[in-house]
Structure 1
Amino acid sequence: MYLFIFAVLAIIFQYTNDKRILDKYEKDIKTYKVKVAELEDERVKLNDKIYDLSYFNIEGNEEALTYFEDQGINTEELLPKLKDGLLEMNAYQGVDHPIIPYASMTESKIIIDQIKVLNHKWILANFTDGKHWGELFINYEVNEEGKLSYKLTDYFLYPIN
């Protein structure tokens, strides 16, 4: 009789313990499924944002790339050359930058720090002197010899608050 009662108590203990463990695992699985669904939604939103941000970019603009290919220009060499040409202007002597129409208002030089090639004709660039900053809208052209020429079309200096 004692053996039977002990066996029943052991079975009840084992059942409740296993049930508690299974319930905990099921709760954890539900929590992780919710987290996975949230992360999947976030991934989709980020992919949409990446698509939107890459819209005005020469790498995603097939017409602009075709324009250069039709002229026999290798875009893989041209794009770094475009950016390097603007960044080399940062090594200017004196006060006036070759393309930025503002002089530095601090001790440091005014320089171009970020460049985005939009298509086969336009570039957006950001400039700063460490305290003041603004943006440039630049037209560029590649001649038959592969030489680059830049023309400042518009510019803006942000006011300091």
Structure 2
Amino acid sequence: MNAKKAKESYDGKIDNLMAKIEEKEDELKSRDIEKDSLIDKILELTYFSLESDEEAINYFEEQGYDAKKLELTISDQIISQNKAGADNPIVPFGGMEGHMAINKVRLLNHKWIIADFTDGVYWGQLFIIYDVRKDGVVDFEVEQSFLYPKS
């Protein structure tokens, strides 16, 4: 009798542990799906960016530039034009509730930039064409701009 009860007890424990293992495996599969969907989302969000554009990176490397360093330099050049008490000269709108400043810059490829700007109340976006000359100087030209109406 004791052996039968002991076996039943062990079988119950084994069944309980097997259920826990299945539960944890399902949890891990769900995490893998979440991880895969996050990776897909990241790839989608970075599709239009210099860091994921191999042709643009090769373009800069052929000119002797490190694309990552150049991207940081160009972003810094644009944002560093934000000055206390003055509008950023790249923004073609004067601040109405403060001074226009560029907040965010994204290099899309080796020729195009998008940027976001605001004066604290009004905000808008810029489409900028840029060119890195052979002497290393970067020229910027605002191709399009948009100021959202105050809501």
* CA distance in structure 1 between the aligned counterparts of 2:25 and 2:35, rounded to whole angstroms: 15
What's the CA shift string for 1:32-51, capped at 9, x where partnerless? 11111111112222222222
Alignment of 1:2-151 (within 5 A): 8=1, 10-91=2-83, 93-94=85-86, 96-106=87-97, 108-151=98-141
Structure with max Cα Rg:
1
- For structure 1, which segment, 18-27 or 143-152, has the greater mean C-alpha deviation from structure 2 after superposition? 18-27
* CA distance in structure 2 between the aligned counterparts of 1:140 and 1:89, rounded to whole angstroms: 16
Normalization by structure 2: what TM-score?
A: 0.86
Q: What secondary structure is seen at the aligned counterpart in 1 of 2:79? A: helix
- Could you tell me which runs of 5 or more consecutive residues in structure 2 were left unpaired when the two chains were aligned: none
* CA distance in structure 1 between the aligned counterparts of 2:37 and 2:100, rounded to whole angstroms: 37
- Could you tell me which runs of 5 or more consecutive residues in structure 1 were left unpaired when the two chains were aligned: 1-7
RMSD: 2.0
Letter in 1 for 2:58: T
Shift of the 12–105 alpha-carbon distance from structure 1 to 2, 3 Å rule, reads farther
Alpha-carbon deviation of 1:83?
Answer: 0.6
In structure 2, the residue matched to 1:4 is none
* CA distance in structure 2 between the aligned counterparts of 1:160 and 1:22, rounded to whole angstroms: 66
Shift of the 84–16 alpha-carbon distance from structure 1 to 2, 3 Å rule, reads same
* CA distance in structure 2 between the aligned counterparts of 1:15 and 1:39, rounded to whole angstroms: 36
What's the CA shift string for 1:98-118, capped at 9, x where partnerless? 011223333x43211111101
* CA distance in structure 1 between the aligned counterparts of 2:7 and 2:149, rounded to whole angstroms: 72
Over the matched positions of the two proteins, sequence identity in percent amounts to 34
How many pairs align?
151
